[in-house]
A and B are shown apart, each in its own frame.
Chain A
Amino acid sequence: MGDILGLVAKRLGLGLVILLIISVIIFFMVELLPGDIAQAVLGQGATPENLAALRKEMGLDQPAIVRYLGWLKGAVMLDFGNSIVTGASVSETIGTRFANTLFLAAYAAAIAVPISIVLGVLVALARNSIFDRVANVATLTSISSPEFFLGYILILYLAVKTGMFPAIASLREGMDFGDLLYRTFLPALTLVLVVTAHMMRMTRAAIINLLASPYIEMARLKGTPPWKVIVKHALPNAWAPIINVVALNLAYLITGVVLVEVVFVYPGIGQALVDAVSKRDFPVVQACCLIFAATFILLNLAADVGAILTNPRLRHPK
Chain B
Amino acid sequence: MTKKKDVLLKIRDLKIEGYSDETWVPIIKGVDLTLHRGEVMGLIGESGAGKSTIGAACMGYARDGTRISNGSIEFDGMELTTATEADRRMLRGSRIAYVAQSAAASFNPAHKIIDQHTEAPLQYRLKKRLEAQEDAMELYEKLRLPNPQEIGFRYPHQVSGGQLQRAMTAMAMSCRPDLIIFDEPTTALDVTTQIEVLAAIRDIVDEFNTAAIYITHDLAVVAQMADTIKVLLKGEEVEEAPTKEMLDNPQEEYTKSLWAVRSFESPQKQRPKDGVPLISVRHVDAAYTKGEKILDDVSFDIYEGMTVAVVGESGSGKSTTARVITGLLPPMKGEVLFKGTPFPPDYRNRTKDQLRQCQMIYQMADTALNPKLKISELIGRPAQFYGGLKGVALKNRVDALLDMIELEPSQYYNRYPTELSGGQKQRIGIARALAAEPSFIVCDEVTSALDQLVAEGILRLLDRLQRDLNLAYMFITHDLATVRSIADEVVVMQHGKVVEQGPKDDMFTPPHHPYTDLLLSSVPEMDPNWLTTLLEERGIDNVGDAAAARLDPKDPKLTGANA
Stretch binding the partner chain, chosen from B87-95, B196-204, B313-321, B508-516: B87-95
Q: Is the interface of A mostly helix, strand, loop or mixed?
A: helix
Q: Which of B93, B106, B123 is the one whose CB lies under 8 Å from A215?
A: B106
Chain B residues contacting A222 (CB-CB under 8 Å) are 92-93, 97-98, 119-120, 123, 171
A237 within 8 A of B: yes
One digit per residue, 1 when the CB lies within 8 angstroms of any chain B CB and 0 when it does not, for chain A 180-224 equals 000000000000000000000000000000011111011111111
B256 neighbours in A (Cβ, 8 Å): none
Contact partners of B342 in chain A: CB under 8 A: none
Inter-subunit contact B92/A218 (CB<8 Å): no
Chain B contact patch, size range:
20 to 34
Interface string of A58-69 (1 = CB under 8 A from B): 000000000000
Query: Which residues of chain A come closer than 8 Å to B149, judged between CB atoms?
Result: none
A212 to B105 alpha-carbon distance, docked (Å): 11
Q: Are A214 and B155 in contact (CB under 8 A)?
A: no
- Which residue on A lies nearest to B63, using beta carbons? A217
Q: Is B467 interfacial (CB 8 A cutoff)?
A: no
Could you say which of A214, A215, A232 has the most chain B C-beta atoms within 10 Å of its C-beta?
Answer: A215
Interface residues of A in 215-274 (CB under 8 A from B): 215, 217-225, 232-233, 236-237
A223-B158 Cα distance, complex, nearest whole Å: 26
0 or 1 for each of B116-146: is its CB under 8 Å from A? (1 = yes) = 0001100110000000000000000000000
Task: Give min CB distance, A248 to chain B, whole Å.
Answer: 23
Within the assembled complex, what's the spacing in Å between the Cα atoms of A224 and B63?
A: 15
Assess whether B109 is in contact with A224, with CB atoms less than 8 Å apart.
Answer: no
A217 close to B100 (CB less than 8 A):
yes
Complex-state Cα separation, A224 to B61, whole angstroms: 13
Contacts of A237 in B (CB 8 A): 108-110
B64 sits at the interface (CB 8 A) = yes
Query: Within the assembled complex, what's the spacing in Å between the Cα atoms of A19 and B74?
Result: 67
Q: Which residue of A lies closest to B119 (CB)?
A: A222
* Known contacts A313-B157, A316-B158; A220/B61 CB under 8 A: yes
Tell me the complex Cα distance, A274–B545, Å: 69
Q: Which residues of A lie under 8 Å from residue B120 when comparing CB positions?
A: 222-224
Residue numbers in B under 8 Å from A219 (CB-CB): 108, 119
- Supposing A218-B98, A221-B59 touch, asked if A236 and B92 sit within 8 A by C-beta, the answer is no
Chain B proximity of A297: nearest CB distance (Å): 27
- Is B262 engaged at the interface, CB distance under 8 Å to the other chain? no
For residue A40, give the distance in angstroms from its CB to the closest CB of chain B: 55
Taking the complex as formed, is A312 at the interface, i.e. its CB lies under 8 A from any CB of chain B?
yes
The answer to whether A223 and B98 have CB atoms under 8 Å apart is no
B111 in the interface (beta carbon within 8 A): yes
C-alpha spacing A217/B120, complex, angstroms: 14
Give the distance in Å from the alpha carbon of A219 to the alpha carbon of B111 in the complex.
12
Q: Which A-chain residue is minimally distant from B109 (CB atoms)?
A: A312
The answer to whether B123 and A224 have CB atoms under 8 Å apart is yes
A318 within 8 A of partner (CB):
yes
Q: Which residues on A sit within 8 Å (CB–CB) of B452?
A: none
Residue picked from A223, A224, A233, most chain B C-beta under 10 Å: A223
CB within 8 Å of B: which of A121-156? none
Question: Are B110 and A224 in touch, CB under 8 angstroms?
Answer: no
* Tally of contacts, chain A with chain B, CB under 8 A: 77
A236 adjacent to B111 (CB under 8 Å)? yes
Residue in contact with A318 in the complex, picked from B64, B102, B158, CB distance below 8 Å: B158
* CB-based contact B107/A215 at 8 Å: yes
| Assembled-state Cα–Cα distance A313/B154 (Å) | 11
Could you tell me if A236 and B110 are in contact, using CB atoms closer than 8 angstroms? yes
- Per-residue CB contact flags for chain B residues 153-183 toward chain A (1 = under 8 Å, else 0) read 0110110000000000001000000000000
Q: For residues 45 through 98 of chain B, which have their beta carbon under 8 Å from a beta carbon of chain A?
A: 56, 59, 61, 63-64, 89-94, 97-98
Q: Are B91 and A223 in contact (CB under 8 A)?
A: yes
Chain B min CB distance to A218 (Å): 4
A211, A214, A232, A316: which contacts B100 (Cβ < 8 A)? A214
Rounded to whole Å, the gap between the CB of B499 and the closest CB of chain A is: 25
Contact A223 B124 (CB under 8 A): yes
- Which residues 273-318 of A sit at the B interface, judged by CB distance below 8 A? 312-313, 316, 318
| A212 vs B63: C-alpha distance when bound (angstroms) | 10
Closest chain B residue, CB of each to CB of A315: B155
For residue A315, give the distance in angstroms from its CB to the closest CB of chain B.
8
Residues of B within 8 A of A225 (CB): 89, 123
| A212 touching B110 in the complex, CB below 8 Å, given contacts A218-B98, A218-B100, A312-B157 | no
Could you tell me the distance in whole angstroms from the C-beta of B461 to the nearest C-beta in chain A? 32
CA distance A316 to B159 in the complex (A): 12
Smallest CB–CB gap between A56 and chain B, Å? 56
Q: Which residues of B contact A215 (CB under 8 A)?
A: 105-109
Q: How far is the CA of A233 from the CA of B108 in the complex (A)?
A: 7
A218 to B169 CA separation, bound complex (whole angstroms)? 12
CB nearest neighbor in B for A225:
B89
CA distance A294 to B108 in the complex (A): 37
Could you tell me the distance between the alpha carbons of A263 and B426 in the complex, rounded to whole angstroms? 63
Residue from the set A224, A312, A318 with the largest chain B CB neighbour count within 10 Å: A312
B108 contact set on A, CB distance < 8 A: 215, 218-219, 233, 236-237
Which chain B residues border A236 with CB–CB below 8 Å?
108, 110-111
Cβ 8 A contact of A218, one of B107, B110, B155, B157 = B107
Quick check: B92 and A214 within 8 Å, CB to CB? no
A238 closest partner in B (C-beta) = B110
Assuming the A-B contacts A215-B105, A316-B155, are A223 and B90 also in contact, with contact meaning beta carbons closer than 8 angstroms in the complex?
yes
Would A223 and B157 be within 8 Å (CB), given that A218-B100, A312-B110 are in contact?
no
B93 touches A223 (CB 8 A): yes
Q: A212-B64, A217-B100, A318-B158 are in contact. Are A223 and B109 (CB under 8 A)?
A: no
Q: Is the CB–CB distance between A214 and B105 below 8 Å?
A: yes
CB within 8 Å for A220 and B110 given contacts A316-B155, A316-B158, A318-B158: no
Known interface pairs A213-B105, A312-B110, A313-B109; A221-B61 also in contact (CB < 8 Å): yes
A232 proximity list for chain B (CB < 8 A): 111
Report the separation of the CA atoms of residues A312 and B115 in the bound assembly, to the nearest whole angstrom: 14
A-B contact pairs, 30 of them (CB 8 A): A211-B64, A215-B106, A215-B109, A217-B63, A217-B100, A218-B98, A218-B107, A221-B61, A221-B92, A221-B97, A222-B97, A222-B98, A223-B90, A223-B94, A223-B124, A224-B119, A225-B89, A225-B123, A232-B111, A233-B110, A236-B108, A236-B110, A237-B109, A312-B110, A312-B155, A312-B157, A313-B155, A316-B154, A316-B157, A318-B157
Q: Which residues of A contact B (CB under 8 A)?
A: 211-215, 217-225, 232-233, 236-237, 312-313, 316, 318
Write the residues of chain B forming the contact surface with A, with a CB cutoff of 8 angstroms: 56, 59, 61, 63-64, 89-94, 97-98, 100-102, 105-111, 119-120, 123-124, 154-155, 157-158, 171
Top 7 closest pairs, chain A to chain B, by CB: A223-B93, A236-B110, A222-B93, A223-B92, A221-B98, A214-B105, A218-B106
With A218-B98, A222-B120 known, 16 other A-B pairs at CB within 8 A are A217-B106, A218-B106, A219-B108, A221-B61, A222-B92, A223-B89, A223-B90, A223-B91, A223-B123, A223-B124, A225-B123, A232-B111, A236-B110, A237-B108, A237-B110, A312-B157
